[in-house]
Amino acid sequence: MAKELIRLKDARMDFDGETILDNINLYINDKEFLTLLGPSGCGKTTTLRIIGGFLVPTSGDVIFDGVRINDVPPHKRQVNTVFQKYALFPHLNVYENVAFGLKIPKTGEDGKKIRLSKDEIDSRVREMLEVVSLKGFEHRSVTSLSGGQQQRVAIARALVNRPKVLLLDEPLGALDLRLRKDMQQELRRIQQEMGITFIYVTHDQEEALSMSDTVVVMDRGRIQQIGTPEDIYNEPKNAFVADFIGESNIVDGIMRDDCVVEIFNRKFKCLDKGFQKDEAVDVVIRPEDVDIVPEAEGQLKGTVTQVTFKGMQYDIIVDFYGFKWLIQTTDFCPVDSKIGIKIDPDGFHIMKKSEYSGMFGDYSSYSEEYDEISDAESEEEE
């Protein structure tokens, strides 16, 4: 059974009368890769800074390994942080950057200064450089390194002190797409090899899903859902989570009975149970769960209004009775064509109504967004 390492208990953070964190409760296990995911301003970085000791919560407790640490300063916590801006020392080489923290004397429990020997420092630095795949880069200037290599130096410098927890605040944000994907795999490998807890902050859903053991989705200073990547994607708790984690068509429905949901005045079989008879619900249909069929064979019939080629598939916007859906398919369907669709029972996910109901899941503005992008590009060319 996993051991709990960190717990936030009723943690609240107010700035200038505005609530940034609204009494959140969260526990994090030892050796877990946990990601705080959400849009800008949702409170994820504030949560990270509270764990790191850079902020003290307005109220509530921060528990580390069973001990309350609200008043413990950052340098006395068994936690290190990697920021998006790596803050490397440009006048020091790779080896010296990683070794920097080890050369600073530490204060022991008896109040005496503890200095590491040169051999101990050298051993730790070379061990960390090997972990982050920078063996042989010891004497390189950090200014000559690529963005990904600089980030590895920052990670090695944070890990060389052997913390129990590494905090990562959107560390891949400055990297290009290809390098970002490579570093996602590297971070996961490093976390598993080191066997410590990683707490990662991002607004990128793909990063969260691909690296994490646990994902915490946040919005408006509150936790919306906690679960494995598979749970978060396949079983979202509300319309915000469903929309933020991947693409989702979200429509109003009525739960007529167990495993029977009605949308657009038509009943469909689904797998969900436990709702009240005739309860109003939100119905999530992922774009990849919709099959296109000839119009006459469709459970629903609609008109294609937009087609975008994405390489592996087409993103197709289809108008169903004034509500526009996104469908992802390998079949090309021209604009203005009439199509039918079929959805298997496991293609429906039923959610209770929430404060987010009606706010997400309609792709009526999809075409307008592409038009705005095209207009902006035209203006730049002129």
Examine residue 183 and state whether it is found in any structural domain, yes or no. yes
Q: Does residue 12 sit in the same domain as residue 131?
A: yes
Q: What pLDDT digit, counting tens, does each position of 152-186 carry? A: 899 999 999 899 999 999 888 777 778 888 888 88
Average pLDDT over every residue of 193-200: 94
User: What gap in Å lies between CA 283 and CA 275, rounded to an integer?
Assistant: 13
Average pLDDT over every residue of 328-350: 95
Q: Does residue 60 sit in the same domain as residue 208?
A: yes
Residue 112 DSSP SS3: coil
User: What gap in Å lies between CA 326 and CA 365, rounded to an integer?
Assistant: 11
Q: What pLDDT digit, counting tens, does each position of 310-319 carry? A: 999 999 999 9
Beta bridge partners of 68: 63
Helix H or strand E segment including 193: helix 177-194
Q: Does residue 266 sit in the same domain as residue 347?
A: yes
The CATH number for 178's domain is 3.40.50.300
- Would you say 191 and 132 are in contact if contact means Cβ atoms under 8 Å apart? no
Q: Report the mean per-residue pLDDT for the chain.
A: 90
Examine residue 382 and state whether it is found in any structural domain, yes or no. no
Q: Where are the beta strands (DSSP E) in 4-100?
A: 4-15, 18-29, 33-37, 59-64, 67-68, 79-82
Query: Is 1's pLDDT higher than 60?
Result: yes
Q: Does residue 201 sit in the same domain as residue 255?
A: no
Q: Does residue 179 sit in the same domain as residue 69?
A: yes
Helix H or strand E segment including 130: helix 118-131
pLDDT attached to residue 365: 65
Examine residue 380 and state whether it is found in any structural domain, yes or no. no
- Would you say 68 and 56 are in contact if contact means Cβ atoms under 8 Å apart? no
Residue 151's domain comprises: 4-234
pLDDT attached to residue 366: 58
Q: Does residue 18 sit in the same domain as residue 107?
A: yes
The CATH number for 300's domain is 2.40.50.140
| Counted domains in the chain | 2
pLDDT attached to residue 169: 92
Q: Does residue 182 sit in the same domain as residue 257?
A: no
Residue 226 DSSP SS3: strand
Looking at 177, 204, 234, the residue that finishes a domain is 234
Q: What pLDDT digit, counting tens, does each position of 12-35 carry? A: 999 998 999 999 999 999 999 999
pLDDT attached to residue 62: 97
Task: Look at the chain and count its residues.
Answer: 382
pLDDT attached to residue 97: 93
Looking at 172, 203, 234, the residue that finishes a domain is 234
Q: Identify the band that residue 381 occupies on the pLDDT scale cut at 50, 70 and 90.
A: very low
Q: Does residue 199 sit in the same domain as residue 268?
A: no
**DSSP for 5-24?**
EEEEEEEEEEETTEEEEEEE
**DSSP for 328-341?**
EESS---TT-EEEE
